[in-house]
């Protein structure tokens, strides 16, 4: 069975006249960017710093082959990713989160994730008594992820505590500004791998994910929130702050979406937050490639609004 991947060389072949492909990830490659054709999940070009939705690189054909390798290795996750993102354009923000969670839970029960999990190094849980700090100064609410010893890895306790903090921002009209920060060497290194695979009921996990959703709360108070990024911003570490009305990044910020390589898709709201900032095609590229994005690149793409002059700690 062929992997669900279609490569179109736009310098040699006209773009397909049909709409979005049903059963594959469609990638277009061109030496120079042009008016973006529809129906593609990723568009690659050799043009430096091309406009959205194109992704530039010195060898777009090599990049396309690497994407094909990812799709071949994790076909279910790759196809679920593009399906969720295509569908998202026709959904409201809250609906996007529900669809994302349904796909994420389905993949949790899949062979791709279970195979990755079996090969992953076992980690010992290191829970924190207070994983999220909350301080108030007049109308300013500061919310701080506070598990510095594990680079603020996002576990269930952190999720629940962050929800409690964001409920304050949503419910209290006297809170006019929220600073979202991370304590220690990184803003957030992503999901806590010590918890991966511990849920044995994907259906129940979906219900919990929708009910206790920092992403849903951030959607409701985004206009109040400034996210301050530094160090590793992986998975949830970029999916959640991307909802903020303003995102500031220290020069050492490194952004990455690793979930597809694990047999999953972004599950902390990234299929809703990132496309709103950088478009569907660039979101697919980041998620499929697992590539690192620097603070400067994230600023150029519009994923962050400002690169600060110092490294946060």
Reported as a single tens digit per residue, the pLDDT across 60-111 is 999 999 999 999 999 999 999 999 999 999 999 999 999 999 999 999 999 9
Q: How many CA atoms lie within 13 A of 258 on its CB side?
A: 16
pLDDT of residue 22: 80
Q: In this structure, what token pair is assigned to residue 235?
A: 């998975």
The rounded distance, in Å, linking the Cα atoms of 153 and 234 is: 9
Give alpha helix (H) positions in the chain: 60-73, 75-88, 93-108, 111-119, 156-171, 202-211, 214-221, 236-239, 270-278, 280-289, 295-301
pLDDT of residue 18: 66
pLDDT of residue 311: 61
Relative to beta strand 246-249, strand 42-45 is: unpaired
Residue ranges in the chain modelled with pLDDT below 50? none
**Alpha-carbon distances, residue 97 vs 10, 148, 156 (angstroms):** 33, 28, 17
pLDDT of residue 16: 82
Q: Say if CB 282 and CB 260 are below 8 A apart.
A: no
pLDDT of residue 17: 73
pLDDT of residue 1: 56
Instruction: Quick: pLDDT tens for 26-48.
Output: 999 999 999 989 999 999 999 99
The rounded distance, in Å, linking the Cα atoms of 69 and 65 is: 6
Domains by residue range for the chain, with CATH: 5-73 (no CATH), 96-269+292-307 (3.90.226.10)
């Amino acid at each position: 069975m062929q992997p669900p991947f279609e490569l179109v060389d736009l310098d040699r072949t006209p773009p397909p006249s049909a709409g979005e492909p049903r059963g594959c990830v469609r990638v277009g490659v061109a030496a120079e960017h042009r008016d973006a054709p529809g129906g593609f999940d990723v568009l690659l070009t050799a043009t430096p710093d091309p406009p959205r939705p194109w992704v530039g690189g010195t060898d777009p054909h090599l990049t396309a082959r690497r994407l094909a390798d990812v799709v071949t290795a994790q076909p279910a996750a790759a196809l679920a990713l593009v399906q969720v993102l295509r569908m998202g354009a026709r959904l409201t923000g809250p609906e996007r989160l529900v669809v994302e969670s349904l796909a994420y839970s389905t993949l949790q029960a899949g062979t791709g994730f279970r195979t990755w999990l079996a090969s992953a190094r076992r980690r010992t849980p290191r829970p924190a008594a207070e994983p999220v700090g909350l301080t108030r100064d007049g109308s300013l609410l500061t919310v701080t992820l506070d598990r510095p010893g594990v680079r603020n890895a996002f576990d269930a306790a952190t999720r629940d505590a962050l929800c409690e903090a964001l409920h304050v921002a949503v419910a209290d009209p006297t809170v006019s500004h929220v600073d979202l920060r991370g304590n220690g060497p990184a803003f957030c290194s992503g999901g806590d791998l010590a918890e991966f695979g511990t849920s044995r009921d994907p259906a129940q996990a979906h219900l919990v994910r929708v009910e206790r959703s920092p992403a849903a709360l951030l959607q409701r108070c985004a206009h109040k929130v400034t996210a301050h990024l530094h160090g590793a911003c992986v998975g949830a570490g970029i999916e959640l702050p991307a909802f903020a009305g303003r995102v500031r990044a220290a020069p050492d910020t490194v952004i990455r979406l690793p979930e597809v390589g694990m047999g999953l898709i972004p599950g902390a709201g990234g299929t809703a937050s990132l496309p709103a900032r950088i478009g569907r095609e660039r979101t697919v590229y980041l998620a499929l490639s697992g590539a690192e994005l620097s603070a400067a690149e994230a600023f150029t793409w519009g994923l962050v609004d400002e690169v600060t002059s110092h490294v946060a700690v």
